[in-house]
Amino acid sequence: MTTYSSYEIFEDKNSYHGVLEMAGATVHAFQDFGSYQGDWLAKVTYNGVTGWIKDSYGSCSGCDSFESESGYEQRTKNEWKEFSIKFCKDYLEDIRTYEDMLKMCSENLDWDMEAKDMIKFLEENK
């Protein structure tokens, strides 16, 4: 039985982008903001609902939920599918409207250097 790392299974996509798709979401737009740590935004459709998801990422399992939960394990395609559905459950049950996400991203404009870029991304992908 063939096994794959997260890098192989998600075909060079950001892990969060890939795991959302594998969980059954259509990802219309995705971008991460920052370098070794930061935030990511995705516009998705799941179960007929289209909207936005936002979370943070990091460079290690101590500060990145995907790395923490997935580890560096090899899994079969079916195991990755099962993992993806479980991992994305909370994200996909909390899809936000454009207005909610715009408000959320605007809250930190005074100190978050990436906030303006996140707002621009939202506006470009409305």
Digit-coded pLDDT (tens) for 40-82: 899 999 999 999 999 887 766 667 677 777 777 788 888 888 8
User: Where do the structural domains in the chain lie, given as residue ranges?
Assistant: 6-98
Instruction: Indicate the SS3 state at residue 123.
Output: helix
C-alpha 126/C-alpha 72 separation (Å) is 35
The side-by-side arrangement of strands in the sheet containing 38-46 is: 26-34, 38-46, 49-57
Determine the Cα angle at 93 with ends 3 and 41, to 5°: 75
Structure token pair of residue 64: 């990145």
Whether 39 and 32 have beta carbons less than 8 Å apart is answered as yes
Lowest-confidence region among 23-27, 54-58, 82-86, 100-104: 54-58
Please name the helix (run of DSSP H) or strand (run of DSSP E) that holds residue 85, with its range, or none. Answer: helix 77-92
